[in-house]
Amino acid sequence: MGPFGIALIFIVIAVVVVVACIMLYNGIVQKRNRVDNAWQNIDANLQRRNDLIPNLVETVKGYTSHESSTLQAVTEARAAVSAAQTPQQTMEASDQLSGALRQLFAVAEAYPDLKASANFEELQQQLADTENRIVYARQSYNDCVYIYNNAIQTFPGNLLAGMGNFSAMDGFEASNDARTAPKVKF
């Protein structure tokens, strides 16, 4: 094999390495984009829930005149979700809103006319469906974050992650309140 053959082998090896790096880089970008898309799904479902809350609050107001603190807590928690700037802030505000909604539904138990209202029942069902969507979207987001983080933290992705300015992302974690089992009294 002459000098031309050796040069050809080195060129082929270089091309294979470059193509492999490009494919690895593109794979990491796709994984990061999946994380971003999963976050947008969470955001869309949080917005859906936020859109339902004013109708729910107005419905409850019509039946309960002295439950203003509960309604205020729901309204403030909803505003906190809308004002959140980072995923961590959004997670915390979303957990607060879920707690405020649970409290609102507990208050509704004391008002039979409210519970019997078709409008309230429909809003409650829509919120329950939306909460389920949020749970699914969070799971999907966490899965995407896990796959992305593995891609940038293992060899050879970690080499490209440093050069390509890819950083690890945080997934959703349960709040301390969610980790504590509720006390049930009979």
Q: What is the CATH number of the domain that holds 76?
A: 1.20.1440.20
pLDDT in tens, 39-76: 999 999 999 999 999 988 888 888 876 678 888 889 99
| 182 falls within a domain | no
| 176 falls within a domain | no
Contact status, residue 120 vs residue 60, Cβ threshold 8 Å: yes
| 134 falls within a domain | yes
pLDDT in tens, 126-169: 999 999 999 999 999 999 999 999 999 999 999 999 888 899 99
Distances (CA, A) of 182 to 74, 178, 179: 20, 9, 9
Rounded Cα distance, 95 and 172, in Å: 11
Rounded Cα distance, 21 and 151, in Å: 13
Whole-prediction pTM? 0.82
Counting the structural domains of the chain, the total is 1
Structure tokens at 13: 């090896």
| 10 falls within a domain | no
Domain span including residue 63: 37-166
